[in-house]
Amino acid sequence: MKKRSSELFLENKLTDKISLENYIKEINDPISIYDVNRPFSIDFRDLTLNKLLTSSPEEKNDPFLYIVIKIQIYCGSKAFSNPRIVKWKGLALDKHIQVNRRIYFSLKYENLPIFSSILFKVKHLEYNKNNDLKRAETIAWTNFRLFDHNRRLKTGKSLFII
């Protein structure tokens, strides 16, 4: 089996949209997640494939590539949120997939467990000539801890090479 690798880029903007009336502290002070009463979200920017994928069997002659990205929060080995699904369809020649979407989860920042992580699973879908799903292959995945060793929520831009 050939090893495929991809890059995922996401941005977690915790400080964005926190009003000064509700939260007044020095700019350099850390923000406690217990003070943020809104749904946890990430900005998912893009995905770069290191290898071109075939879109479908040759008999279908479909120029499109179908990618599904499943994003879910875990605590240990247990799922802690409902999965969020991002679907992408583009030309099979595209190696750089622009997602540019803010992903909201069903739990709030204040409810995130300290030992939580976020799982990204990228699947490549192939359809037969009748448009029935022929194969769904996981081509990349990564698991990212949401908190650092000092129990602070990681924020800012992150690049994953998987």
What is the CATH number for 96? 2.60.40.150
Half-sphere exposure of 150 (CA within 13 A, CB side): 5
pLDDT of the residue at 27: 40
Q: Which two tokens stand for residue 36?
A: 């943020």
Residue 84: inside a domain: yes
pLDDT of the residue at 153: 84
Residue 142: inside a domain: yes
pLDDT of the residue at 148: 85
Residue 13: inside a domain: yes
Residue 150: inside a domain: yes
Residue 72: inside a domain: yes
The residue range of the domain holding 36 is 6-161
pLDDT tens for the chain, residues 1 to 162: 444 444 444 444 444 333 333 333 334 455 677 778 889 898 888 887 776 665 555 555 666 778 899 999 999 899 999 999 998 887 766 677 788 889 999 999 889 999 999 999 989 888 777 778 888 888 888 898 988 888 888 877 877 776
Residue 115: inside a domain: yes
Residue 1: inside a domain: no
Count of structural domains within the chain: 1
| Cα of 150 vs its chain's centroid, Å | 24
**What are the beta bridge partners of residue 6?**
49
Strand stretches in 50-115, DSSP E: 64-75, 78-79, 84-91, 96-108
